[in-house]
Amino acid sequence: MAEDRAKVEPTSNEDRYQKVWAVIEGIPAGAVLNYGEVARLAGFPGRARMVGMALGRAPKSRQLPWHRVVNAQGRISFPEGSVKARTQRERLEAEGVEFVDGVIDLDRFSPQRAMDRLLWGP
């Protein structure tokens, strides 16, 4: 019946956002992930845009480390010079993330590398 059809899609969008937020909360300080990677880790490959939505709709009470999410080119996805962009950059640099020409080396500042630094030092 119609109810069975409804159960084919058990997860609501709210649930999807919860998964996305959980992944973002798992990004260690000093590391960044791009939107597509967050989507993939949350179980939604190819849906990078959803991550942006989830971030925008995240409740303030959640205190997400939203600044650790950048785009696939390693650049901040807010208009350059905007308050948000500057805030994000400041927070990242405070954690040791380096910008070269406004670009972050995603490989060098991946969560994996961050964990390595934690264990082995810089």
The residues that touch DNA, with contacts defined as CB under 7 A, are 13-14, 16-17, 34-36, 46-53, 55-58, 66, 69, 71-73, 77-78, 84, 88
- 34 or 110: CB nearest DNA: 34
State the nearest-atom distance from the C-beta of 114 to DNA, in Å.
Answer: 18
For helices 13-25 and 48-56, what crossing angle results, to 10°? 90
State the nearest-atom distance from the C-beta of 108 to DNA, in Å.
Answer: 15
- Report in angstroms the alpha-carbon separations of 108 from 52, 85, 99, 122: 23, 21, 11, 11
CA 120 from chain center: how many Å? 25
- 49 or 115: CB nearest DNA: 49
- 84 or 86: CB nearest DNA: 84
Tell me the helices (H) and strands (E) count for the chain, helix number first: 6, 2
